[in-house]
Amino acid sequence: MPPVQSPEPSPEQSPEKSPAQGPFDLAEGDPFGPHTLPYGVFSTPDAPTRRRIGVRFGDHVLDLSDLPAAVRPPHADLLAAPTLNPLLAAGRTVWREVRAAVRAAVTEPAHRTALTPLCHPLADVTLHLPFEVADYVDFYASEHHATNVGRIFRPNGSALPANWKHLPIGYHGRAGTIVVTGTPVVRPNGQRKGGDDATPLFGPSTRLDIEAEVGFVVGAPSNHHEPVALDAFRDHVFGVCLLNDWSARDIQAWEYVPLGPFLGKSFATSVSAWITPLDAFDEARTQPPARDFPLLPYLDDAAAEPGGIDLRIEVTVNGETVSRPPFASMYWTAAQQLAHMTVNGASLRTGDLFASGTVSGPEPDQLGCLLELTKGQGPFLQDGDEVTLTAWAPGPDGARIGLGEVTGRVLPAPALGGDQA
Ligand SMILES: O=C(O)/C=C/C(=O)CC(=O)CC(=O)O
Ligand SMILES: [Ca+2]
Ligand SMILES: [Mg+2]
């Protein structure tokens, strides 16, 4: 695939910083300033089994697990856990109180002496999957992606299915194979049958792909039989992460009729280590595209607060930028996806994760997977390839809200056993 033209500086490349400065002296434009404050879970080499909650500030992690009394936030017990789940479960009022207290701690110069020993350079810590994933759903919400993929997978049918503009299509994925950024991704073995194959073949996928997506993390649960309305979205959804829905296109193309993706996607899904609270995106809200059909009342967001988010994603393969998918172009919003997911009375659990679907914009350098970028022809991923997604959103007063990164390197498929070879 051709590299993207006219590169802009990656938000991950923090501007130059002099070594004499401390963890709280951020360079101008650092995307992890006081308006971002994403939560993660880390450990340090001296205590590798002690997982602690931290917040990212610049290129450091501030340990929140045992803050000194002068800056101890309300609900500090929730921050002493080894995962974010207790904080997620606590609900929006608590999320806001904790975030306000953390912001006050990192911005008040009088606290710096006390907090500096609790700051670890990112390079010195191990980042872990920050929450225990409950259920996992993946949507299909980009009109551009759905149209492009529809043409490739179903050249004789209409690109968009008849239901596409009436409901956000999704499928249930595999929560147990969600992995944190940096985890290697092993090429899956599986069954495939191309148009020229007389019978199905078995072996390593030859069409391994990525999907650049945004994940939404559910905090507060809901009750069974009680749908979550559009305007209750922010009572339930805690925050946002980056997500790569690794996809074996050959396995997927053969297996997906009629129930949708299965083994072609369930071998691994990577997420970023940082969960950014929704409140960080207040300045980045956008109106979704105009609706082409009237929506049923439970999905009709015409009078709702703008449901889109202006996240600018960048996809690199082996360090070379291949795409810049714009999340603001998504047809269906996360609030509509949540309303649809629960309209039948299905309940939410703390730690549920739902992904936006591949983010593809209208332009050729805005496509969120290699299938689209190469018009179905490949090349797809080779063993050893490393794929990284980064993103940022506009914040207050020209600040950037960084989402960190989700990265993974492809490892060779396991050797086939006697029954499989
Ligand atoms: O059009 C299809 O048959 C399937 C497309 C997908 O790859 C499903 C998917 O993961 C949805 C998405 O990421 O948008
Ligand atoms: Ca997907
Ligand atoms: Mg996947």
Ligand 1 test: best mutation among 136, 140, 167, 329, most atoms within 8 Å of CB?
140
pLDDT value at 90 more than 90:
yes
Task: State the binding site for Ca(2+).
Answer: 138, 211, 213, 245
User: Is 33 a member of any domain?
Assistant: no
Instruction: Say whether pLDDT at 363 is over 60.
Output: yes
- Which residues carry a binding-site annotation for substrate? 140, 154, 252, 256, 358
285 located within any domain: yes
Distance 246 CA to ligand 3 centre (A): 5
264 in the same domain as 171 = yes
Question: Are 213 and 142 within one domain?
Answer: yes
- Do 102 and 161 share a domain, yes or no? no
pLDDT of residue 17: 47
Q: What is the mean pLDDT of residues 343-370?
A: 98
Ligand 1 interacting residues, C-beta cut-off 6 A: 138, 140, 145, 149-150, 153, 211, 245, 247, 256, 261, 357-358
pLDDT of residue 312: 98
For 34-70, how does the pLDDT look when each residue is reduced to its tens digit (9 = 90+)? Answer: 999 999 999 999 999 999 999 999 999 999 999 999 8
Q: Domain boundary at 109, 128, 147, which?
A: 128
Residue 338 lies in a domain: yes
Which residues participate in catalysis according to the annotation?
145
Same domain for 238 and 114, yes or no, is no
Q: Give the total number of structural domains in the chain.
A: 2
Nearest bound ligand to the CA of residue 358: 1
The reported pLDDT for the residue numbered 4 is: 56
Last residue of a domain, one of 83, 102, 128: 128
Which domain does 282 fall in, by range?
Answer: 136-411
- Do both 105 and 160 map to the same domain? no
List CB contacts of 346: < 8 A, sequence separation 6 or more: 224
Is residue 59 located within the same domain as residue 178? no
Average pLDDT over residues 388-396: 98
Classify residue 39 as left (phi > 0), alpha (psi -120 to 50) or beta.
beta
Asked whether residue 418 carries a pLDDT value surpassing 90, the answer given is: no
pLDDT beyond 50 at 210: yes
Does the residue 420 lie in any domain?
Answer: no
Question: pLDDT confidence of 7, banded at 50, 70, 90?
Answer: very low
Domain termination residue (choose one: 100, 128, 156): 128
pLDDT-derived band at 419 (thresholds 50, 70, 90) equals confident
| Per-residue pLDDT tens digits for 235-278 | 999 999 999 999 999 999 999 999 999 999 999 999 999 999 99
Considering the domain architecture, whether residues 231 and 151 belong to the same structural domain is answered as yes
187 and 321 fall within a common domain = yes
Kindly state whether residues 92 and 165 are assigned to the same domain: no
- Between residues 7 and 119, which one has the greater pLDDT? 119
Same-domain pairing of 117 and 249: no
Query: Which atom of ligand 1 sits closest to the CA of residue 211?
Result: 13
Of 21-25, 122-126, 341-345, 392-396, where does mean pLDDT reach its minimum? 21-25
User: How many whole angstroms from 139 Cα to the centroid of ligand 2?
Assistant: 7
**Res 13: pLDDT:** 47
ipTM reported for the complex, 2 dp: 0.93
Tell me the pLDDT band of 416, cut-offs 50, 70 and 90: confident
pLDDT of residue 19 exceeding 80, the answer is no
Q: For 313-331, what is each residue's pLDDT tens digit?
A: 999 999 999 999 999 999 9
Q: How far is the CA of 46 from the centre of ligand 3 (A)?
A: 33
Question: What average pLDDT score do residues 105-110 get?
Answer: 94
To test the pocket of ligand 1, the residue of 137, 138, 149 to mutate (highest count of ligand atoms within 8 Å of its CB) is 149
pLDDT tens digits along 39-49:
999 999 999 99
Which CATH number covers residue 400?
3.90.850.10
Residue 239 within a domain: yes
Q: Minimum-distance ligand to the CA of 265?
A: 3
Q: Is a pLDDT exceeding 90 seen at residue 6?
A: no
Residues 396-407 have a mean pLDDT of 96
- For the CA of 256, the closest atom of ligand 1 is 3
State in Å: Cα 109 to ligand 1 middle.
Answer: 48
Specify whether 245 is located in the same domain as 161: yes
344 and 373: one domain?
yes
